[in-house]
Amino acid sequence: MELPSEIYNRRLQSEYNQMLSSGFKFEVNPEKNKYVVTVHGPALHKQNNSLMKRESHTAEIDLLRSYPYPGGIMVYWLTPIFHPNIRAEDGIVCIQLVNDWSENQTVVSVVKALEHLLKHPNPRDPLNKEAAKFFEQNPNALEGVFEDKKPNKPRII
């Protein structure tokens, strides 16, 4: 199912306006259907067979032609991450918000869900089984990971 082009383009403009006022740091393409967002939150990533801490991340949110209907949004993690709900090989993100998508949700709600996912990894529903096992055995692994408290400023290029 697709919206008529005029309505789809108005929806994309509305999403863009909401992102501008959200305070999230992001870049968007001219069509306003592909966002690269900076997400802040505690996480781990593998480097030279060691787990390192990271607090700033990049994700891509693609609004497909079937947006805002279910299946019309794709989310990819771009920075390296060791997380049970993000597949390291291709950055596919498993968040309930995307699985249960409704046309009332927004790009801003996706970014907030990504921040929540960082702080609350779910090893019971993994895309990365190695990370799931690690977080089951080390439930406090993210304690002490620096969280940036500075406000984000939008950056459009």
Q: Residue 153 has what pLDDT?
A: 52
pTM as predicted = 0.86
Q: Residue 147 has what pLDDT?
A: 43
The residue ranges of the chain whose pLDDT is under 70 are 97, 144-157
Positions annotated as catalytic residues are: 94
The H or E element that residue 18 is part of is helix 5-22
Q: Residue 146 has what pLDDT?
A: 44
Q: Residue 145 has what pLDDT?
A: 53
For the chain, which domains are there? 5-137 (3.10.110.10)
Give residue-wise pLDDT tens across range 131-150.
Answer: 999 999 998 888 865 444 44
Report how far residue 59's alpha carbon sits from residue 104's, in angstroms, rounded to the nearest whole number.
21
